Amino acid sequence: MLDPISLIIFIAVGGVLIGAGVHFIPVGGAPAAMATATGVGTGTAMLAAGAGMTGLVTAASMTGQPMILVVLAGAIGAMLMMGFTMLIANYIYVYGCGVVPASAKVDNDPITGRNQEIYCTPGTEGHGIPTVCFVSGIIGSLMGGAGGGLIYYVVNNAATNASFITTPIEAAALAAIIAISVYFINSVIASYNIGGTIEGFHDPKFKKIGRGFAACLIASILCAILCVLILGGI
């Protein structure tokens, strides 16, 4: 069984991974839904949480396995969700709306080197999900999924040994609820730091990641202390 200090450290690490991961995910918010901005057409916290939930389910399907496998399963689940979502969204942008994926934040794609500017519709901040945004989204979901999986593993481990838990399914449910809560808290903090939309690691807003990192660390430590109290106190 994990001691309370280790539990706090692991939850804090998981929370920071989630918060940092959100900064990588290309979200264009409402403007992207009209192909007015580059990225996925939904909110930062919502998309990150959606990926995190898939990672949580795949991590939970590994219950009983070593920590590294549970964390990796969480990361793979979140990456699958993000990868399929970005690909299908791009199919809709290209075939349904007739737009070319292009970023307005850089002149050339840092990965493919392709020109972006001449493909952007005037009056927009780009549209679709170009390669650099796609790769950035995959990195972000890897971090977020791994963080969620880590929190699920340690809380499930601690809850299984808690005096008031009688069945494994109760421990899994409690671990899931705490993991979802920490995921949402860190996603929302990160989305406030981003301030609406971000294209990924090549976006100038990405430089604010340090401040988001610190805020998520503080919030995650507070969440971890509450979690220790819920699980039976120190």
Partner 1 sequence: MDPITLGVVALIGIAATIGGASEDIESDIGSESNPNSQVQLAPQMGHLHRMVNKAISGEPVAYGVWCGISCSVAYLVMTLNAGFLSLPIIAIAIGATVAALVHVIYTTTAHIGRIVGQAQFQQPLFYDLLIECLGPIAGHGFIATFCITSFCYLMTIPLGGNPLVSFPLPVLGVVWGITIGAIGSSTGDVHYGTESEYQTYPFGGGTPVAIQGDIVTKEACGAKNSIDVGNFCAKFGGPLTGVCFGLIVFFSFWITVVFGVTGGIIAGAIIILILIYLNFRLETFARNVYGPYEEEAEPAEEAEIVEEAEKAGQ
Hey, which residues between 108 and 167 contact partner 1 (CB under 8 A)? Answer: 112, 114, 118-124, 126-131, 134-135, 138
> Among residues 11, 18, 20, 99, which is the contact residue for partner 1, using CB under 8 A?
99
| β-bridge mates for residue 125, sequence order | 37
Q: Between 12 and 49, name the residue whose CB sits nearer to partner 1.
A: 49
Plot region of 128 (φ>0 → left; ψ -120 to 50 → alpha; else → beta): left
Q: Between 195 and 210, name the residue whose CB sits nearer to partner 1.
A: 195
Supply 66's token pair. 């070593």
Does residue 190 bind partner 1 (CB under 8 A)?
Answer: no
> Among residues 163, 169, 207, 233, which is the contact residue for partner 1, using CB under 8 A?
169
Distance in Å, CB of 187 to partner 1, minimum? 11
Size of the site for partner 1 (CB under 8 A): 78
Q: Between 15 and 101, name the residue whose CB sits nearer to partner 1.
A: 101
Distance in Å, CB of 40 to partner 1, minimum? 5
What is the C-alpha to C-alpha distance for residues 228 and 82, in angstroms, rounded to an integer? 31
| Segment 191 to 210, residues that bind partner 1, using CB under 8 A | none
Distance in Å, CB of 231 to partner 1, minimum? 17
| Segment 63 to 82, residues that bind partner 1, using CB under 8 A | 63, 65, 69, 72-73, 76-77, 79-81
| Segment 12 to 51, residues that bind partner 1, using CB under 8 A | 29-30, 32-36, 40-43, 46-47, 49-51
